[in-house]
Structure 1
Amino acid sequence: MVKKISIFMLILVLFAWLLLTACGASEVAVVEETAVPPTAAATPDATATAAIAHYVATIDAQRSPDVPPLPFVDNPDPLQCGIPVTWTADSQAWLNGVYEGELVRPTVFLYDSHLRLNIEAQAPHGSEVKVLLYQQNPVTDYYLVKIIGAGEPNEGWVPAPFLSFEQIES
């Protein structure tokens, strides 16, 4: 019985070898390195970065030419910005045009949103405001404020560096 099984196994191996060689499996597949490495766009991070860059470029193209650039870093990915929440603190606040010890905005602008597509209102540095909403973001937080004693339009979003909870001396 053992002799029959051994012969059967030998025939089976021989048959498998013939079948594989007939199909070309006796040749070893060789993978050659390419001279060009895979592109960065093929990675998920690069694809996400490209999509974010495209989104930011689209926003920048929609931005009014009246909106000046910020003197500090803004949020690199607006899609990662937080959801505005009601400001519950009953504290006074003032617009602050000083950044890094220098008055960079004698007139502080209030924007339509954290995207800063349009200027909605403006007030001099040191103007008192009431905070209505707060939006926590990855880099620069924003506050929706209302200028105290100003006629309409008197509301808009201000980046956190341009808001102070300590009285500003004009």
Structure 2
Amino acid sequence: MKIVALVGSLRENSFNMQLVKTIQKRYRTLFDVEIADIGILPHYNEDDEHAPSEEVKWYKQQIVEADAVIISTPEFNWSIPGVLQNALDWLSRVERPLVGKPVLPMGVSQGALGTVRAQLHLRQVLMSMGINANILPPAGNEIFIGAAGQKFQDGELTDEATLQFLDQVMDNFVAFVKEETK
């Protein structure tokens, strides 16, 4: 199974990137994770959507070839970062490779609530007419990691309770993807 991950933070030591890399390493026997570099994408411009740059073409092809997508977002001003919105905007036009694609939203922050507000907004964007992704049902599957500074060490998620929960959600996501892509 091939999964493409979108990380909504460009920060060098991003906890969201650390989460995705933890997933990439911890579940390597269940699936392969390819991390899309959304920081190289130009700003979405409707004038360019029918003749996009090579970076946009490559990015869209990554999504087309994936069985599923993981999106890990920080929370900026109670929402998702602009770089992530831009990446999703490119996917919402012309080919629209996220339509029906299984997606797992998640996020990490230093705050006590994790990324609750950002993920609510992310889910709205993912359900929009242009994207219409197939989101893993939230009941028991919402990954809101708060107090990140206490749960990550040396670039990896180490908090045992969080890892156990993540194991359950990943099992649920793999089953969801298999069911939705058969």
Instruction: Give the structure-2-normalised TM-score.
Output: 0.22
Bigger relative contact order, structure 1 or 2 (CA pairs below 8 A, ≥6 apart): 2
Larger Rg belongs to: 1
The structure that is strand-richer by fraction is 1
The structure that is helix-richer by fraction is 2
Instruction: Give the structure-1-normalised TM-score.
Output: 0.23
